[in-house]
Structure 1
Amino acid sequence: MKPIKAFLFDLDGVIVDTAIYHYQAWRRLANELGFDISEEFNERLKGVSRMDSLDIILAHGGMTLPDEKKEELAAQKNQWYLDLVSRMTSDDILPGVATFFSQVHKANLLTALGSVSKNAPMILERIGMSDAFDAIIDGTKISKGKPDPEVFTKGAAELEVDPDECVVFEDAVAGVEAGKRGGMFVVGLGSPDVLTQADLVAASLDVLTVDDVLAKASV
């Protein structure tokens, strides 16, 4: 087992919780198309790219649309979402994140963001965490969304570390699968009943320490 050199973090549900804003924007779109989506349904969209999410929603509503119309709808949803997240501040950072990142930097670990969101850099700027990462991989740098491991393997490549020297932090099933497919140790943040593929599961970063993670990942 190689020593762990880098921690790779998803954004939504790990650093901040923008899921409610995604849900509000997707639900508004669904409503305009003549149907509704529930919060439970929205769980299926976590960690999934924008166009794939739209396809899931359209299938739920029994709709088939041409690609041009789908691009238009996805752009509209994103604008509604941006209007909501543009009001975010450092108060929106999830509990325990600041303390955990302080421990990460003291341990001299490299950090990367691995998010399929094209809005990730803007959100990091709004919450004052742009400088917290050595590499930022977002939706503009990848061609495949999670559960494909590209977002994490590219992060490892930018940090110049091997996949088995990385720990991924994820809250979504698709993200956990992406980390595992990338050959990385994966910490799932959420319910162990849901994140069954994760190597370690905790409710949030608030209840973890870097030493805890390194001890588990180095076994």
Structure 2
Amino acid sequence: MEDFPQAPVPAFLFDLDGTLIDSVYQHVVAWRQALSGMGIDLSVWRIHRRIGMSGGLFVNALLRETGLKLTREEIDELQGTHAAAYEEQARSVRPLPGAVELLAELTSRGVPWAIATSGYARTARLALGMLGLPEDTPLVTRDLVRRAKPDPDLFLAGAALVRVDPRHAMVVGDSVWDLLAARRAGALGIGLLSGGYGREELERAGAFRVYDDPADMLDRLDELGVRQSD
């Protein structure tokens, strides 16, 4: 009988905030504080809708809604203030249900995975300890790529870090920006409801499966081609 090439083991590229750690609303509050400090008053829901974008695009989108203009220096100051405000709340951030167990299960089955986040290393590395991950965990942050979500750079870099073709990877994220970036990277998108976006929004953005949170995804790994024998 003719031998056929074996299908590659699936690989996973995880967003961080709202996907592995329950930090979306801490980021929203931190952005609200930073914006208020510069005299910019925006409703919380408007801020939440942009979480997951790169910081620069996030600020530009919010400024477009207000009609205000900021200099490059002011935008940099705003991002720095947000990071400091988030760090003050970091102790209230927890892993999402099943996140630690999901990553451990993938590792035990030999499934490659990496974290790719629009956050800067300054805030992203705070999550490694709470997830019980070592410092050498495959992690791509905003500091390491030219553009962040919805551009595909983070996920392309994450795939390269674990040496997989992006077409053989699945991106796991909680926002439409994650899923748009996944499509542009040529990867399949998996949506999680744990960041506050609705199922239909995530599916319209390209998610081929949507789960409640990492625990729900862990229970259904077989739907994603991850088998006990992998």
Give me the TM-score of the superposition, normalised by structure 2. Answer: 0.83
Further displaced range: 25-34 or 92-101? 25-34
- Percent of pairs identical after alignment? 27
Match of 2:183 in 1: 180
Partner of 2:126: 122
Deviation readout 1:9-62 (Å, 9 max, x if unpaired): 000011102111111111123323434322321232221112222222222332
- 2:35, 2:78 within 8 Å by CA — same for their partners in 1? no
Is 1:47 matched up with 2:52? yes
Give the drift of 1:130.
2.9
**Does 1:166 find its partner at 2:169?**
yes
Mean Cα displacement is larger for which, 141-150 or 67-76? Answer: 67-76
C-alpha distance after superposition, 1:86-106 (max 9, x if no partner) = x256xx111111222232122
2:70 corresponds to 1:60: no
Q: 1:123 to 1:102 in 2, by over 3 A?
A: closer
In 2: Cα distance, 1:148 partner to 1:33 partner: 28
1:157 aligned residue: 160
Q: Is the 8 A contact 2:99 2:131 kept in 1?
A: no
Query: CA, structure 1 residues 65+134, in 2 after alignment: closer, same or farther (shift >3 Å)?
Result: closer
Q: Which residue of 2 aligns with 1:214?
A: 225
Are residues 161 and 131 of structure 1, via their aligned partners in 2, closer, same or farther at CA, if it must alter by over 3 Å? same
* Contact 2:100–2:131 under 8 Å retained in 1: no
The equivalent residue for 1:70 is 75
How far apart are the structure 1 equivalents of 2:110 and 2:161?
17
Letter of the structure 1 residue corresponding to residue 78 of structure 2: L
* 2:111 aligned to which of 106, 109, 112: 109
- Letter paired with 1:172: S
Letter of the structure 1 residue corresponding to residue 102 of structure 2: F
> Which of 25, 28, 31 is the matching residue for 2:33?
28
Task: Give distance in 2, aligned partners of 1:53 and 1:129.
Answer: 30
Partners of 1:113 and 1:120 lie apart in 2 by: 10
**Structure 1 residue ranges without an equivalent (≥5):** none
- CA RMSD in angstroms comes to 2.2
- Paired positions, count: 212
Alpha-carbon distance in 1 for matches of 2:34, 2:66: 11
Counterpart in the other structure of 1:198? 207
Which residue identity does 2:49 align to in structure 1? R
AA at the equivalent of 2:200: D
Q: CA deviation at 1:189?
A: 0.7
Kindly indicate whether the alpha-carbon contact (under 8 Å) linking 1:171 and 1:189 is maintained by their aligned counterparts in 2: yes
SS at match of 1:167: strand
8 Å CA contact 2:34, 2:85 repeated in 1? no
Q: Distance in 2 between matches of 1:84 and 1:194?
A: 29
Q: Which runs of 5+ in 2 are unaligned?
A: 1-5
Distance (Å, rounded) in 2 between the aligned partners of 1:108 and 1:18: 28
Residue range with higher mean Cα deviation, 100-109 or 8-17: 100-109
Runs of 4+ in 1 over 6 A off after TM superposition: none
| 208 and 133 in structure 1: CA distance in 2 versus 1, 3 angstrom threshold | farther
CA distance in structure 2 between the aligned counterparts of 1:139 and 1:75, rounded to whole angstroms: 14
Q: Residues of 2 paired with 1:134 and 1:144: CA distance?
A: 22
